[in-house]
Structure 1
Amino acid sequence: MASRVSLKSKGKSSGGKGSKGMEEKSTSQCLKEWSTWAMKKAKVITHYGFIPLVIIIGMNSEPKPQLYQLLTPV
């Protein structure tokens, strides 16, 4: 038997509040949302930037190695 997939809305519905949704947020709620957004962005930047950072630091050290010397495991 094939199962049916039910699509449900995950977002908040705007029932009854009108356009006052942004005005009613408290300062602590805005700070919490901003910090969550910033941590997500920092996680992505760290994930994709760590290895290039190590390669750049390694290429600027003494003695100056070639790129293939940095990338080979020997």
Structure 2
Amino acid sequence: MASRVSLKAKGKSSKGSKAAEDRSASECLKEWTTWAMRKAKVITHYGFIPLVIIIGMNSDPKPPLSQLLSPV
């Protein structure tokens, strides 16, 4: 009574080389652009505040970290 695990591929599945040849350049560009924008969104989301802290700590009057993190 063991259950079988079925492995299904996510996304577009290409069966054979004909499916890969049918994709136009605009579809490839659209897919690459979507992928790049998703990665840029994640990088911007997690990298903005650390970037501000690093820039603030390297400014001319060196403030302490507590002063950079306080909202005042």
What range describes the TM-score normalised by the shorter chain of this pair? Answer: 0.7 to 0.9
Pick aligned residue for 1:22 from 20, 24, 29: 20
Runs of 4+ aligned residues of structure 1 deviating over 3 Å after TM superposition are 10-14
**Percent identity (aligned):** 77
Deviation sequence 1:7-50 (CA, Å, 0-9, x none)? xxx85676xxx312222100011001000110111000000000
TM-score (norm 2): 0.74
Pick aligned residue for 2:63 from 60, 65, 73: 65
Q: RMSD in angstroms over aligned alpha carbons?
A: 1.9
Deviation sequence 1:36-65 (CA, Å, 0-9, x none)? 110111000000000000000000111001
TM-score (norm 1): 0.72
Task: From the two aligned structures, give the one with the greater helix fraction.
Answer: 2
| Count of residues paired in the alignment | 62
Change (3 A) 1:47 1:66: same
Matched AA of 1:39: M
Secondary structure of 1:23's aligned partner: helix
Structure 2 unmatched runs, 5+: 1-9
**Is the aligned partner of 1:36 residue 2:38?**
no
Matched AA of 2:19: G
